[in-house]
Chains A and B, each alone.
Chain A
């Protein structure tokens, strides 16, 4: 589903955020991405979203090499990737329902479809009863769950999360992690960047560890350098 081939990302000429990162995530796999602050976790996720382009190497999502993707194709890739951020990026000028509906709207889904799928997603995160509320009226954890509902509403094969449990209490964090685990069970590939080592250990999943841009643990074992396909 995801493959990084010798990916290097240099921001400025002297600052390297990722160094020759190699790994490979299968369909339906759930993995954590961890490392100190500034290790390059967000950068790695941004490469997957084509918010940034790699300086060298190849990022492959669903068999498509993102490096060569023309600009106007980017939206279509993003439609297949759900993202959750710590600052959940909900819009406070519209209801929970309308927030969750956005990915469907940009795809031009029919209103009937939108209603059905938004309610299904809200149901999954346990917020069906709050669809008409403004996100401001919700608690932090609820807002985070709205963000997750929005990320999964169009059933993307890939789900990325950057510090999704950043400022939630442990119980809520565990809830949210379980939600991610459920998605991976139905075949969604999930990659979660997190500092929360306790939680990560508790989940007992594959963990990719970055250190100053080097992938020091959890990567795909390499046999003699570059691994061809």
Chain B
């Protein structure tokens, strides 16, 4: 058709038509929400429609999430225990054998006057031997000894404020430096070992948590990839009629989040079940050690955080799948030759 200049101004602006036909923003926002709700519901119902497959994904995710969370809970309980031991730390100072009682008393006064010491008990060598005799059952054997092999001993309880690993260590140095003290012993060695162990354990747990989180993301990513494949036609048509990337991605991102929700709930159930299963034996064990150790479950906030984290992981997995597989689907191929 020949160019008709008079018609030219009318020609442009497909876009202007769109603007005038666009509804006011309130209605726009409203239909946006309605759309989100519909997509969310639709994605959820798709998961329900394949209950076995969904349940399997949820379980895999639940196990992968429950494991590090359980270890973290155990760790928290252990840290509680070790700090309890710390507060009960007592320093034992053994005098040298040639230190007499007089000397020891003087030393005890000196140490007792230190601000870091709450309590001090002097056990003289005779009493120590008597106690040893009573508790060891080596009564006869001890009779053969010509001399009392035990030194005078000071039992020192640190002040509240000094009951930290560092505080106890400095107190220890102070006592060790005193004249006549042969050897100082403290439960601190145990404490430090336990602390070091929990530190190590904490790192291991976090490393495990990160690995398992990555596994969760990959599992969800793969599941969502399959779902993208199975809905290929729908994606093509949506892109063909002008669906934005956001529009096309949305159902899959919701799917990922729903997988996460289910996984989080399964993880929580698994945690509760194992807690319930373990609580009896743990109580008995703690009773044996007259410890108030107890394995605490997740608080309400903890459960909430677990589920939110699971949903975020699911969403992330879906996002990766969508990024890798969905943006490649272009409707060019359906146009035919």
| Interface, chain A (partner B; CB < 8 A) | 1, 24-27, 29, 37-38, 42, 45-46, 49, 51-52, 61-64, 72, 75-80, 83, 85-87, 89, 91, 93, 102-103, 105-111, 113, 150, 155, 157-158, 162-163, 206, 220-221, 227, 229
Contacts and interface: CB of A to CB of B under 8 A. Distances in A.
Given A87-B334, A157-B17, A75 B11 contact: no
Contact of A72 (B1, B30, B244): B244
A46 B32 CA distance: 30
A79 B241 contact: yes
B4 interface: yes
A62 B13 contact: yes
Report, nearest first, the 6 A-B pairs whose CB atoms are least far apart: A63-B12, A62-B14, A79-B242, A78-B242, A106-B243, A51-B332
A91 B23 CA distance: 28
A106 B244 contact: yes
A105 B248 CA distance: 11
Nearest to A46: B335
Interface string B6-24: 0110111111011001010
Contacts of A158: 14
A93 B251 CA distance: 15
B170 interface: no
A26 B1 contact: yes
B14 A102 contact: no
A151 to B, nearest CB: 8
Given A24-B3, A85-B334, A113-B23, A157 B241 contact: no
Interface string B163-179: 00000000000000000
A103 B18 CA distance: 13
A51 B247 contact: no
B234 interface: yes
Contacts of B23: 109-110, 113
Contacts of A62: 11-15
Given A108-B35, A110-B31, A111-B34, A46 B239 contact: no
B34 A91 contact: no
B102 interface: no
Contact of A93 (B30, B234, B245, B334): B234
B237 A89 contact: yes
B15 A102 contact: no
B233 A80 contact: no
Interface in B10-55: 10-15, 17-18, 21, 23, 27-28, 30-32, 34-35
Given A62-B12, A78-B242, A93-B234, A110 B334 contact: no
The majority secondary structure among interface residues of chain B is helix
B236 interface: yes
* Interface magnitude class on chain B: 35 or more
Given A63-B11, A63-B13, A106-B247, 8 more contacts: A24-B3, A62-B11, A62-B12, A63-B12, A75-B243, A77-B242, A80-B17, A108-B35
Contacts of B239: 75, 78
B337 A42 contact: yes
A134 B277 CA distance: 52
Given A62-B13, A103-B241, A221-B2, A87 B331 contact: no
A15 to B, nearest CB: 13
A91 B232 CA distance: 10
Q: Which one of B35, B241, B243 has the greatest number of beta carbons of chain A within 10 Å? A: B241
A96 to B, nearest CB: 14
B35 A89 contact: no
Given A102-B241, A106-B241, A49 B335 contact: yes
B10 to A, nearest CB: 6
Q: Which one of A61, A93, A103 has the greatest number of beta carbons of chain B within 10 Å? A: A103
Contact of B18 (A63, A79, A105): A79
A190 B199 CA distance: 73
A158 B243 CA distance: 17
5 contacts: A27-B10, A42-B335, A42-B336, A106-B244, A108-B32
Contacts of A150: 241
B28 A102 contact: no
Contact of B14 (A24, A80, A87): A80
B241 to A, nearest CB: 4
Nearest to B27: A110
Nearest to A87: B336
Contacts of A75: 239, 242-245, 247
B20 to A, nearest CB: 12
Interface string B261-296: 000000000000000000000000000000000000
